[in-house]
Amino acid sequence: MAKKPKKQQQSGGTPATVALTAAGVEYTVHSYDHDPAHPSYGEEAAEAMGVSPERVFKTLVADVDGALTVAVVPVAGQLDLKALATAVGGKRAAMADPALAERTTGYVRGGISPLGQRKKLPTVLDASASAHPTICVSAGRRGLEVELAPESLSALTQAVLAPIGRA
């Protein structure tokens, strides 16, 4: 019986929603019409869903001492690269090349999800996530978000919780 729901998700889902379903995690999918002219994918998601930007998190891929690392931070702020490097025991961090991030995760920029990535990468979730009962992250494509408990996201991605965001 477990295979039937998974199969249904695969036909209409994304690798992120398939991973959530396979793990038995409770989640809600939110979809909206993506506007390619909008200047910020994350802010667009928050506006379209009517959710506070502090609860909508963007997924960024950085290079920490030569290793790709995923950072999940609120769309209301920015990633603190130095804090990210510190969180994973590194010295230097820089944003990863977008094409490399897309190839490695299997997702397109603006739709990169921390879940169901092609290659499992170390993940750091901003500590502010724990202040909310649920947060929203990309479900794997522009215009599609998944809402779940931050503890579920952390457990599935084996994320380190650290203060990596800044206003």
Q: Tell me the pTM.
A: 0.90
Say if residues 146 and 112 touch (Cβ distance below 8 Å). no
pLDDT of residue 41: 83
pLDDT of residue 13: 87
In order along its 167 residues, the chain shows pLDDT tens digits of 333 333 333 345 899 999 999 999 999 999 998 888 888 888 889 898 999 999 999 999 999 999 999 999 999 999 999 999 999 999 999 999 999 999 999 999 989 999 999 999 999 999 999 999 999 999 999 999 999 999 999 999 999 999 999 98
Q: How many CA atoms lie within 13 A of 106 on its CB side?
A: 14
